[in-house]
């Protein structure tokens, strides 16, 4: 454990959840406190601060940042104590320092170490939709798998899963989480849906709207006839564009929480 650590405070004018997700990819732990998003690491956060500012410029969002160095008071333990398990339908998503819950399908994901933990509305929506549409033997691809949480959930419902992500570090995290949950995927690759080796009965893509718009053709081509496509990570302001782009498919289900939407299509 480091004697001192760095603390980066980000004060976004809007869309705090976007900055939380961004910071989780580059730091050891992220916490929302009042109007600030706090990231902590034993390593210098100067580069991360620069990345936050550049990310904010692309989003057109104003941010203020500060960096301080502090004595270590076991902030990892404090962070762990602040993380609460999440219930999503029949799924119980918990960090490994929490106990399973009777009567639920157990999923173990450590938020401080992962790229998705079920706390975000878009992941939550996908977890609910998986329970409606995944059956035993379903062939499923999770595009942009991140922590692997959606593919792990589908595997626990009886699906045969493949995973892909453009970030090799995400695939490493997914590997660890699959092992932690005692389930296996069939195929894994660095890249996107275009490299899919087969066609699928279900595809999940919990990414961002811009990417969903860009890879529409590839997602549809990878679906079986009558296949199900679950799209998430869509902010309200992009929902019209996404629906127009995927109008050739049949919209059969939709879930929304706060400003995030999950759409389910059938080919």
Per-residue pLDDT of the chain (267 residues; tens, 9 = 90+): 577 888 899 998 777 778 888 887 777 678 887 788 998 888 889 999 999 999 999 888 999 999 998 877 666 666 666 677 889 999 999 988 889 999 999 999 876 443 455 578 889 999 999 999 999 999 999 999 988 999 999 999 999 999 999 988 889 989 999 999 999 999 999 999 999 999 999 999 999 899 999 999 999 999 999 999 999 999 999 999 999 999 999 999 999 988 899 999 999
What's the burial of 115, exposed, middle or buried (CB within 10 Å: 0-12/13-18/19+)?
A: buried
Residue 114: predicted pLDDT: 39
Are residue 245 and residue 146 in the same domain, yes or no?
Answer: yes
Which one, of 245, 214, 211, 246, lies nearest residue 228 by Cα? 246
Identify whether 89 is part of a domain. Answer: no
Adjacent-strand bridge partners of 231: 205, 263
**In terms of residue numbers, what domain contains 53?**
4-80
Are residue 137 and residue 225 in the same domain, yes or no?
Answer: yes
Residue 23: predicted pLDDT: 86
**3-class DSSP assignment, residue 163:** strand
Q: Write down how long the chain is.
A: 267
Residue 235 maps to which CATH number? 3.40.50.150
Which one, of 162, 172, 158, lies nearest residue 192 by Cα? 162
**Which domain-ending residue is among 54, 80, 106?**
80
Residue 115: predicted pLDDT: 43
Q: Are 108 and 181 in contact (CB under 8 A)?
A: yes
Task: Say which residues have a Cβ less than 8 Å from residue 97's Cβ, sequence separation at least 6.
Answer: 80
Beta strands in the chain (DSSP E): 4-12, 29-33, 36-41, 63-71, 86-88, 91-94, 105-108, 139-143, 160-165, 187-190, 200-206, 223-235, 250-257, 260-266
Are residue 161 and residue 233 in the same domain, yes or no?
Answer: yes
Residue 47 maps to which CATH number? 3.30.70.270
Q: State the Cα angle at 188 between 17 and 234, rounded to 5°.
A: 25
Identify whether 106 is part of a domain. Answer: no
Number of domains in the chain: 2
Verdict on whether the full-model pTM lies above 0.85: no
Identify whether 175 is part of a domain. Answer: yes
Tokens at 160, concatenated: 């045969």
**Which domain-ending residue is among 63, 80, 97?**
80
Q: Which residue has the tokens 């157990």?
A: 106
Give the CA distances from residue 242 to residues 86, 124, 128, 239, in Å, rounded to whole numbers and listed in that order. Answer: 28, 19, 20, 5
Residue 210, number of CB atoms within 10 A of its CB:
12
Q: At 47, which helix (H) or strand (E)?
A: helix 46-59
């Amino acid at each position: 454990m480091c004697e001192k650590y760095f603390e980066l405070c980000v004060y976004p004018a809007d869309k705090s959840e976007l900055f939380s997700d961004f910071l989780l990819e580059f730091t050891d732990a992220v916490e929302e406190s009042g109007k600030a998003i706090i990231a902590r690491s034993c390593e210098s956060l100067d580069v991360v601060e620069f990345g936050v500012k550049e990310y904010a410029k692309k989003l057109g969002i104003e941010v203020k940042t500060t960096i301080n160095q502090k004595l270590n008071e076991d902030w990892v333990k404090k962070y762990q104590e602040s993380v609460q398990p999440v219930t999503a339908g029949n799924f119980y998503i918990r960090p490994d320092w929490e106990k399973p819950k009777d009567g639920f399908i157990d999923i173990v994901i450590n938020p401080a170490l992962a790229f998705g933990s079920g706390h975000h509305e878009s992941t939550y929506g996908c977890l609910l939709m998986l329970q409606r549409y995944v059956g035993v033997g379903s062939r499923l691809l999770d595009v942009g798998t991140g922590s692997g949480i959606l593919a792990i959930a589908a595997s626990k419902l009886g699906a045969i899963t493949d995973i892909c992500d453009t970030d090799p570090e995400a695939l490493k995290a997914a590997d660890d989480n699959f092992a932690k949950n005692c389930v296996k995927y069939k195929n894994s690759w660095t890249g996107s849906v275009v490299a899919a080796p087969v066609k699928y009965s279900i595809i999940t893509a919990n990414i961002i709207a811009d990417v969903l718009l860009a890879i529409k053709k590839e997602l549809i081509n990878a679906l079986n006839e009558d296949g199900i496509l679950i799209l998430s990570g869509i902010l309200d302001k992009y929902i019209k564009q996404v629906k127009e782009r995927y109008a050739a498919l049949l919209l059969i289900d939709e879930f929304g929480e706060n400003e995030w939407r999950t759409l389910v299509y059938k080919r």
